[in-house]
Structure 1
């Protein structure tokens, strides 16, 4: 768990958010399978570990946004541009709009903001003169790689320490959990 997180201060409520032991209020919210006390304790530790990971990722995003003086949407667009450049692919405003799931007008505002900040340049598309190709500036790319990219790349170290079968177990677990909590299966969620 990161040092700056909300749970660095003793908070018995926050500490018990993922405790599924008997008599815990969470049992009213979810159907807990018939498991032994040891299994419930282990699952509780697993849920806390996932919460710690989310908190750490959130802290990294907030710190990187503050450092780069950009919004989360801006950072996602820049990450997309870095990957496209590494792959040798041209990026159009429409591709950014589709990736970010935003309108053409919002994309124009985003690109105007990033261009004013010296983070991207627009060039005429080499094969379609009606379109622009968007490129990240070398300075922004270097800054993003040196800070945020370097921090995120450390996740690879944790994955590399696992054995092949352990990684397959983690992959299966994360995919299963994503499927279980997918908003597409929630009858209360808007379409």
Structure 2
């Protein structure tokens, strides 16, 4: 679909026509989501600066903490899948985070070879210092909502998350075409 560059879309109508019923108020909801995403990114950048780590490091540490809170043991493979990075990149990440004292590795006692990953107590403390004040304020906002509003927000954000996690239709079509081609295999194989 081509676009006439001499006739660009009117401001605020890039994807949506605000003349359609309900679109104008829905656009405000999406703008609020975007504002929150920008603010959330800024909060994470502050935490990264305080902890002197990069974004991937922060995501890894948060994942390990979440696993611990859920009584799950994380492995390098789990972390690779969560971060969507190669095993080589994961090995570098783990070496860096171990050297900086943010994580510790233990040999899995079940097989004596596989590694189990844990955030160090220092990482737990740094994370609490970097984010606890903000998280307490966020919790106060959530507690201030009625039960019905809380349920509506959860439903809305879960639906938005599911959509955001969907692969782009062009990617799905390319993968399907590659799988259908002679000798082709799906990307996940």
For the 8 Å contact 2:46–2:130, the answer to whether it is kept is no
For the 8 Å contact 2:74–2:116, the answer to whether it is kept is yes
Matches within 5 A, 1:1-191: 24-27=10-13, 29-32=15-18, 34-35=20-21, 40=24, 42-179=25-162, 183-187=166-170
Closer, same or farther in 2 for the Cα pair 1:24/1:176, shift >3 Å?
farther
3-state DSSP class of the match of 1:134?
A: strand
3-state DSSP class of the match of 2:118?
A: strand
Closer, same or farther in 2 for the Cα pair 1:104/1:180, shift >3 Å?
closer
For the 8 Å contact 2:107–2:116, the answer to whether it is kept is yes
Q: Which residue of 1 aligns with 2:5?
A: none
Query: What does the per-residue CA deviation read over 1:103-122, in whole Å, with 9 as the maximum and x for residues that have no partner?
Result: 11111000000011111122
Closer, same or farther in 2 for the Cα pair 1:177/1:95, shift >3 Å?
closer
TM-score, scaled to structure 1: 0.73
With 89-98 and 107-116 compared, the bigger mean Cα shift is at 89-98
Q: CA RMSD in A?
A: 2.6
d(CA) in 1 for partners of 2:125 and 2:97? Answer: 15
3-state DSSP class of the match of 1:154?
A: helix
Query: What does the per-residue CA deviation read over 1:55-92, in whole Å, with 9 as the maximum and x for residues that have no partner?
Result: 21011011111111111111111111112223333222
Pairwise CA distance, 1:155: 2.5
d(CA) in 2 for partners of 1:87 and 1:181? Answer: 25
Pairwise CA distance, 1:183: 4.5
Q: Which residue of 1 aligns with 2:186?
A: none
For structure 1, the residue ranges without an aligned partner over 5 or more in a row are 1-22
